[in-house]
Amino acid sequence: MKVRAIGFAEKLLGFKEKEFQFEGEKKLSELIDFSNVPTNLIAIIINERAASKDQLVTKDDEVIITQIVAGG
């Protein structure tokens, strides 16, 4: 599974891109340590759909973690 961190999420997570090898399904939070990340300020996208850190993922998924953008 490939995970890309963009913007300040990269600084909080400590990586820009990371590959994970595993079998079956796992929660994203089992693979990535979100303990120092204010999850209300980030967006998690799995296979081009909004998701959460507790979403089940497989080795074939693509994950993007970025900051939430808002404005008017």
| CATH number reported for the structural domain that contains residue 22 in this entry | 3.10.20.30
Please check whether residue 21 lies inside any domain of the structure: yes
| Helix spans in 1-72 (H) | 8-13, 28-31
Percent of the chain exceeding pLDDT 90 equals: 86
| Owning domain of residue 23 | 2-67
Alpha-carbon dihedral sign for residues 26, 19, 45, 31: positive
Question: SS3 for 31?
Answer: helix
Please check whether residue 72 lies inside any domain of the structure: no
Question: SS3 for 66?
Answer: strand
**pLDDT (tens digit, 9 = 90+) per residue, 44-63?**
999 999 999 999 999 999 99
Please check whether residue 14 lies inside any domain of the structure: yes
- The Cα 23–Cα 14 span in angstroms is 24
Contacts of 22 (CB under 8 A, 6+ apart): 1, 31, 59
Please check whether residue 39 lies inside any domain of the structure: yes
Please check whether residue 49 lies inside any domain of the structure: yes
What is the model's pLDDT at position 72? 64
pTM: 0.90
Tally of domains in the chain: 1
